[in-house]
Amino acid sequence: MPQIRELALDATGKDAVNEPIPILPGAHYTMGGIETDKFGATRVPGVYAAGECACVSVHGANRLGGNSLLETIVFGARAAKHAVEYIKKVGDVTPSDKTLRAEQDRVKALLARSGGTRAPKLRHAMNETMSENTFIFRDEAGLAKAVQDLGRVRKEFDSNVYVMDKSKTFNTDLVSTFETDFLIDTAFALAKGALERKESRGAQSRTDFPERDDANWMKHTLAWRQADGSPRLDYSRGVTITKFEPEVRTY
């Protein structure tokens, strides 16, 4: 596959003809995401989600290769049709000036800061603790450390993150800072949810709780962002079982 050789050359400078290509772990697929109903509608009126960013919950805690097409094609179409009907019914909507001003003030405050910690440094700290403590096999100590580390990263970001580029157009430094902000939220929710779920299920492999616990954990983990940036977990959304009952398989 010549394109693989080209990718390796571009990314690592290694030529597969003469030397091995370095192999590193990467995220292939996200299970879970923005909570939606069967039409792709979220709790925010008029906001829809479909595909890998959404959690319509058709695959449970794991999914087979190729099943992600269902979330894109089937629920993408359902979300589109439902959104059109919603638009027809809702009429004219006035945007919230208060929300817009608050976001404008947030951006201005970021650009006005004259010094602090750069976003790539915080992103690296987040990456390190997630790779070390929330990988395929997890345990209480590692997950607790990830939660603690992410708390420090979140606090440092909110109080001290610094955007070097002050321009108002094509500011990739600012965009990258926003991306880091959202990644910290996602990582925090993942680590805290994995810590509190005292079982193994699908992609969650707890070495200290190796068995699946349907009696206590047959439910979704919902995460709500609190004022301090940490996630508040909620388990009010149960799991809907239709034709196929869950089984415990042994190999």
3-state secondary structure string across 128-172:
HHHHHHCCCEECHHHHHHHHHHHHHHHHHHHHHEECCCCCCCCCH
The pLDDT tens digits for 191-210 are: 999 999 999 998 899 999 99
pLDDT tens for residues 216-250? 999 999 999 999 999 999 999 988 888 877 776 66
Whether 217 and 191 map to the same domain: the answer is yes
What's the token pair of residue 19?
A: 């030397």
Instruction: Work out how many domains the chain is built from and give that number.
Output: 2
CA distance 44 to 36: 10
Query: What predicted TM-score, i.e. pTM, was given to this entire model?
Result: 0.85
In a domain, 127, yes or no: yes
The label of the residue with tokens 């196929």 reads 244
Instruction: Give CA–CA dist 19/30, Å, rounded.
Output: 32
**Region 4-13 average pLDDT:** 89
Same domain, 61 and 126: no
Q: Which domain holds residue 228?
A: 97-234
pLDDT tens digits, residue range 106-157? 999 999 999 999 999 999 999 999 999 998 899 999 999 999 999 999 999 9
What value does the mean pLDDT of the chain take? 91
Q: Are residues 126 and 15 in the same domain?
A: no
Q: How far is CA 186 from CA 9, 206, 217, in A?
A: 31, 20, 21
> pLDDT at position 174, please?
96
Q: Do 9 and 57 reside in the same domain of the chain?
A: yes
Nearest residue to 182 (alpha-carbon basis) of 122, 142, 132, 133:
122
Q: What is the mean pLDDT of residues 60-81?
A: 84
- Residue 206's DSSP bridge partners are 138
Give the pLDDT of residue 249.
Answer: 63
Is the pLDDT at 73 greater than 70? The verdict is: yes
Question: What are φ and ψ of residue 191, in 5° steps?
Answer: -65, -45
pLDDT of res. 250: 60
142 and 174 share one domain:
yes
